[in-house]
Chains A and B, each alone.
Chain A
Amino acid sequence: MSKKRGRVARTGAWVDDRLGLAKVARTTLRKVFPDHWSFLLGEVALYSFVVLLLTGVYLTFFFDPSQAETVYEGSYAALHGVEMTRAYRSAVELSFDVRAGLVMRQMHHWAAVVFVAAMVVHLARVFFTGAFRRPRELNWMVGVTLLLLGIGNGFTGYSLLDDQLSGTGLRIAYSIVLSIPVIGSWITSLLFGGEFPGPDIIVRFYVLHILLVPAMIIGLLVMHLSLLVHQKHTQFTGPGRREDNVVGERIWPTYAVKASGLFFLTTGTLAALGGLAQINPIWIYGPFEPSEVSAASQPDWYVGWLEGALRVMPAWEVRAFGFELPNPFFAGVLLPSLTFGLLYLWPFIEARRTKDRSVHHLLDRPRDRPMRTALGVATLAFYSVLFIAGGSDVLATEFGLSVNQLIWSVRLALFVVPVIAGAVAHRLCRDLAARDAEPPHDPPDPPADGDGPDAVAGTDPVAEGEPEEERELAWPPPASVLRTGPPSPRPLPP
């Protein structure tokens, strides 16, 4: 034991002699990380991305991104003698004739699905707890970019296989890009290498999918995490938690072991899905044939809201002076631009609205910011309705409704459901906050109503000084609440 220790120390000394990292490494090990289940959502996204990289590298060894025509002769009898591109053929062979190929491919696809899902839920956590406020606006924007890249790379990924479904998706994407005013036809021509389907689209999407976008994601992930370390994680309010401290667990050993445990739980779940839950069975869809389409074509879930928007958009378009703004522009270009534009700007929009530009390291509970919570819930409701609309034909067949009625109901629901959901959320916030406020009338103590950690976390008399007002937050909140904690939350070092 002591001999072994001696060897480790000697190796360590050798490395440190050359890099001088002992001090930094120790500081890192002793770093305090606030603990809350909701802080793990971003980690799940990160670990899914690691799985994407690992399985993705394996897939590149077998996938052939070529649109050259070939005839299938592999072991899947139903496709024997069928003409197809080498891309589709290699994807089918990879699924049936490469050992562990199918598991890897399905794990890869499931990891993409979970990656984007975890990012969305993580984004919602950051939104509802106000973790995007100063000084974290930049990291919020990095995160939004990661979401955008994640969705984009998911789409380029399943478009590579050149099956009937992905070809249909590409055709719609082509038409959406084509609808961009003035330069739409130029962009499509440069992107696809010509008119649809274009001779080069698969190899180009391949380069984007396996090199450019992943490199960007890795770069931004490094930035995201460095900023997180540099600015230190936010924490919920609670006894002893102030704007000028971090209370939690040290990285070493418990937190590090727990985090690696979560890594294995995430990858294990993805492996189970990859082995047992069929996803994107391209051999059933068949190779892409531009004049054919299967009914009930559904994209991956994170594109569902766009698909829904395309479907519910009424038959409007703008035509003037011999030019036109085609219908898909509104649902396919304008809506996502607005969505991500507002997401990027949200920290600044809210700061302007509340006039709260001070530093916040303590998180809000959603109930303490009823207006923000209501807005967030209404937004989620809006996109959920669009998502449901994306499956209108499937729903119509499943429940024996007419697509016509369904689309009209969805159009109505797009306006009604967010309003109701927002109002309910607002009301709920008020009620919960009021319930929290009831029992204790001796401010110095944490509330005694035994409502679990949530209730304890609800107030921090030490930090806020005015716990009663914190609970009765109106929009915009009174100035006394907007002030952050102690009079000087950023004491300058001497």
Chain B
Amino acid sequence: MKGISPEEQSAARRAYLAVVVALSLSILAGLSLAVVYWSGGQAQLEGVLLAVSLLGIGVGTVIWAKRFLPNEEAEEARKPVGSTAEDVSDFSAEVDRGEEAIGSRRLLVGLISGGLGALGLAMVFPIRSLGPRPGRGLSRTGMADGRRLVNAEHEPVRPDDIPLAGVLTVWPEGHEEEADSSALLIRVEDASLFREPVVLPWTVGPVVAYSKLCTHTGCPVGLYEADEHLLLCPCHQSTFEVLAGARPVFGPATRALPQLPLGIDEQGFLVARGDFEGPVSAGFWNRSR
């Protein structure tokens, strides 16, 4: 440190001090972290102490490198990445030499290719074990003729259990665990409000039922705006008009929520009169087949 001005000297001293402080803080934080952990742990403290111990080392080393380590510019030649023409031709000559030796037994080459090919093919088949063939399951749910509809507490429901101008989520009895079987019962003010394409014989008085799964990406359509009779999907904001067969009126959904045929059994409980009118949830290639 010869031949430098007093300002630079004091700046260097301050930088040195900063490194000392940073590294000392790091040591302190590291030790405190051990104590905190030992005495039961506390998430915020752990994070802060770990941060101080790491940042202390980081700040210290960076200042150290910037101020006290040689910062001289160096230069290095950049050789071309590609090989020389000679190396390339030597290489291909080497490959050719081996290839000729191997290729002289054509039948064997053919057989080994066949063997590896067959092995490769055989290795593909275990993938099939990963899951069942996608079949009718995508189009069918647990709803069936005569099956009672039950609420989240597994109790059957009567039309009066649905709050006026409200909704109730139900499942087919005994199939409550099936993700695609949930339906929404909606009770409107008056049965005369329903219009096309609501299937009127499938309603029970002012109660209509639709699949709860959005036809866009299958999120549960959980929000009901009673004033406008609109069902809203909270995921991508598709909106369905309850009075008009739950047809989509806004958002990315293209299909109406499939309606569920509703009925009443002898004890006055709501039952399904069959499966939903079409496949529920998101669309797929051969949905209509």
Contact = CB atoms under 8 A, between A and B. Distances in A.
B and A form one assembly: yes
B4 interface: no
Given A185-B285, A327-B216, A490 B61 contact: no
A103 interface: yes
A186 interface: yes
Contacts, number: 283
Given A245-B76, A296-B234, A271 B62 contact: no
A194 interface: yes
B110 interface: no
A111 B47 CA distance: 14
B241 interface: no
B84 A189 contact: no
A261 B76 contact: no
Nearest to B251: A315
Nearest to B53: A268
Contacts of B134: 185-186, 188-189, 195
Interface stretch (B5-13, B65-73, B89-97, B192-200): B65-73
A176 B227 CA distance: 33
A264 B81 contact: no
A198 B37 CA distance: 40
Interface string B256-279: 000000000000000000000000
B127 to A, nearest CB: 6
B109 interface: no
Please indicate which of the listed interface residues B46, B217, B287 has the most CB atoms of chain A within 10 Å of its own CB. Answer: B217
B37 A404 contact: no
A420 B286 CA distance: 42
B84 A257 contact: no
B55 A265 contact: yes
B44 to A, nearest CB: 5
Contacts of A193: 130-131
A347 B68 CA distance: 41
A36 interface: no
Contacts of A119: none
Contact of A190 (B47, B130, B250): B130
Interface residues of B, number: 83
A189 B130 CA distance: 8
B127 A168 contact: no
Interface stretch (B100-108, B155-163, B218-226): B218-226
B289 interface: yes
Nearest to B40: A99
Contact of B212 (A232, A260, A291): A291
Interface string A168-200: 100110111011111111101111111111101
Contact of B48 (A32, A265, A275): A275
A293 B250 contact: no
B74 A247 contact: yes
Nearest to B287: A324
Contact of B61 (A175, A264, A317): A264
Contact of B80 (A185, A249, A292, A490): A490
A301 to B, nearest CB: 17
A404 B230 CA distance: 14
Contact of A261 (B43, B65, B289): B65
Given A264-B58, A326-B283, A196 B218 contact: yes
B138 interface: yes
Nearest to B212: A291
A316 B255 CA distance: 10
Interface string B130-155: 11111001100000000000000000
Contacts of A243: 78
Given A100-B46, A198-B131, 9 more contacts: A172-B217, A179-B282, A195-B179, A200-B131, A268-B51, A307-B236, A311-B236, A317-B254, A324-B287
Interface of A: 30-32, 99-100, 102-103, 106-107, 135, 168, 171-172, 174-176, 178-186, 188-198, 200, 230-232, 240, 243-250, 253-254, 257-258, 260-269, 271-276, 290-297, 307, 310-317, 319, 322-328, 331-332, 359, 361, 392-393, 403-404, 407, 489-493
Interface of B: 37, 40-41, 43-48, 50-62, 64-66, 69-82, 84-85, 127-128, 130-134, 137-138, 169, 171, 179-180, 182, 212, 216-220, 222-223, 234-238, 248, 250-254, 281-289
22 contacts: A135-B81, A172-B218, A175-B218, A184-B284, A185-B284, A195-B138, A200-B130, A240-B75, A244-B78, A247-B76, A254-B65, A258-B62, A261-B59, A264-B61, A271-B54, A274-B50, A275-B47, A276-B48, A322-B289, A328-B282, A331-B252, A407-B251
